């Protein structure tokens, strides 16, 4: 007979002193504070203040879904939604939330997270990740403009609202707000339970970025793979003018490196540091070390897919899918599959690696 853990007999265990482990408690307030501050910023724009980061305020937008929003319309909407978000977040943690439909609050929270994570950003977030080494060591982050910084702020707000919605929804169905479990889940043959589709999703996510990596690395080596000689000449001249040198390998190298690291989601070295890693060999890989960057990349790729396809549909972006220029946009055709599969692979990795909940003891 299975012995009932102490946490079941004596009540839920404490999550520990770390602030991160108490995220279901502070996420709604953090999301509400973010919405309040951003709503006040929207009010500033509505009253004629400078800096509206969409529409005419963002002339360099790359297929942005909000590229056609005028300040006169967008600024009041931002102000209203920001103040509404602050009120909704307060309702999620106050006793009088019982007088409001829980589904209404949960729907508002998830919708806000979706807009901030999928609609506000555009392909420049993925470009930022691709050029991250160059930004760190050569160009510096002063090259970032305000619209892109605003997109990063939107991602932060979206993450806070997603966390608030997840914790609130779990509480509504009487599950543990930290792990989402409602009952003890039996362990698999290796001591951990994990979805069977995780391995398939992982290998799809491994293969999807390889066409992009191959073309960009070939261009860096002056090989016109999938492009014309005229394009290669302009490509080389552009990099020479910028003085980037070896940083031509950045985009392709980051895509190839991401493909290799994705394999860690189903490999042993994704759980235990291999022997060749200095100072960490044999130690357990913290799950967040893989989950956080993989989630960010999956989100960025998905957003880039939406904005690139949106820009191609309205004629603002030329994918160059002709016979001699397939290398321009052809590798990007699989980006929607890349983003979704990487997100699914990351979720499967999280479900496999998570241990017993330190709050409720389930697992």
How many structural domains compose the chain?
Answer: 2
Q: 161 with 287, same domain? A: no
- Residue 184 forms part of a structural domain: no
- Residue 201 forms part of a structural domain: yes
Q: Which of 135-139, 201-205, 222-226 has the lowest mean pLDDT?
A: 135-139
Q: 144 with 214, same domain? A: no
Q: 227 with 161, same domain? A: no
Q: 221 with 87, same domain? A: no
- Mean pLDDT, the chain, integer: 86
Q: 333 with 210, same domain? A: yes
Q: 161 with 230, same domain? A: no
- Residue 94 forms part of a structural domain: yes
| Token couple for 153 | 């702020």
Residue 359 has pLDDT above 90, yes or no: no
Q: 110 with 212, same domain? A: no
Predicted local distance difference test score (pLDDT) of residue 46: 96
Q: 27 with 151, same domain? A: yes
Predicted local distance difference test score (pLDDT) of residue 34: 98
Q: How far apart are CA 24 and CA 359, in angstroms?
A: 11
Q: Which residue has the higher pLDDT, 184 or 104?
A: 104
Q: Residue 36 is part of which domain span?
A: 20-123+139-172
Are the CB atoms for 185 and 357 separated by under 8 Å? Answer: no
Q: 202 with 150, same domain? A: no
- Residue 67 forms part of a structural domain: yes
- Residue 227 forms part of a structural domain: yes
Residue 91 has pLDDT above 80, yes or no: yes
Q: 112 with 258, same domain? A: no
- Reported confidence tier of residue 360, pLDDT bands at 50, 70, 90: confident
- Residue 3 forms part of a structural domain: no
Q: What is the pLDDT of residues 239-289, one digit of tens each?
A: 766 666 677 888 899 999 999 999 999 999 999 999 989 999 999 999 999
- Residue 315 forms part of a structural domain: yes
Q: What is the pLDDT of residues 151-205, one digit of tens each?
A: 999 999 999 999 999 999 998 888 888 888 887 655 444 445 568 899 999 999 9
Q: What percent of the chain clears pLDDT 70, i.e. is strictly above it?
A: 86
The most distant pair of C-alpha atoms in the chain lies apart, rounded to whole Å, by 74
* Burial class of residue 324 (count of CB atoms within 10 Å of its CB; 0-12, 13-18, 19+): middle
- Residue 349 forms part of a structural domain: yes
Q: Which residue has the higher pLDDT, 190 or 84?
A: 84
């Amino acid at each position: 007979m299975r012995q009932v853990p102490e946490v079941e007999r004596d009540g839920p265990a404490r999550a520990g002193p770390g602030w991160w482990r108490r995220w279901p408690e502070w996420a709604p307030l953090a999301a509400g504070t973010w919405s309040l501050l951003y709503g006040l910023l929207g009010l500033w724009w509505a009253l004629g203040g400078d800096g509206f980061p969409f529409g005419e305020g963002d002339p360099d937008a790359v297929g942005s879904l909000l590229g056609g929003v005028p300040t006169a319309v967008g600024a009041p909407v931002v102000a209203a939604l920001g103040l509404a978000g602050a009120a909704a977040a307060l309702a999620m943690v106050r006793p009088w939330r019982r007088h409001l439909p829980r589904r209404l609050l949960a729907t508002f929270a998830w919708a806000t997270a979706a807009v901030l994570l999928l609609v506000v950003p555009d392909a420049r977030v993925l470009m930022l990740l691709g050029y991250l080494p160059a930004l760190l060591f050569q160009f510096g982050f002063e090259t970032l403009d305000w619209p892109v910084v605003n997109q990063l702020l939107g991602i932060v707000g979206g993450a806070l609202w997603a966390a608030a919605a997840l914790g609130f929804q779990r509480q509504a169905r009487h599950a543990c707000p930290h792990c989402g479990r409602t009952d003890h889940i039996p362990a698999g043959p290796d001591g951990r339970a994990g979805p069977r589709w995780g391995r398939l999703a992982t290998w799809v996510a491994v293969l999807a970025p390889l066409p992009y990596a191959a073309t960009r690395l070939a261009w860096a080596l002056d090989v016109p793979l999938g492009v014309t000689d005229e394009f290669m000449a302009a490509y080389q001249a552009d990099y020479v003018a910028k003085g980037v040198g070896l940083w031509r390998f950045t985009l392709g190298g980051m895509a190839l490196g991401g493909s290799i690291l994705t394999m860690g989601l189903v490999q042993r070295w994704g759980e235990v540091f291999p022997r060749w890693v200095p100072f960490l060999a044999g130690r357990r890989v913290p799950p967040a070390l893989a989950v956080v960057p993989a989630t960010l990349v999956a989100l960025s790729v998905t957003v880039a897919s939406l904005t690139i396809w949106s820009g191609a549909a309205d004629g603002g972006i030329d994918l160059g899918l002709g016979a001699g220029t397939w290398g321009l946009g052809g590798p990007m055709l699989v980006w929607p599959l890349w983003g979704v599969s990487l997100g699914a692979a990351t979720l499967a990795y999280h479900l496999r690696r998570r241990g017993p909940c330190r709050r409720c003891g389930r697992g």
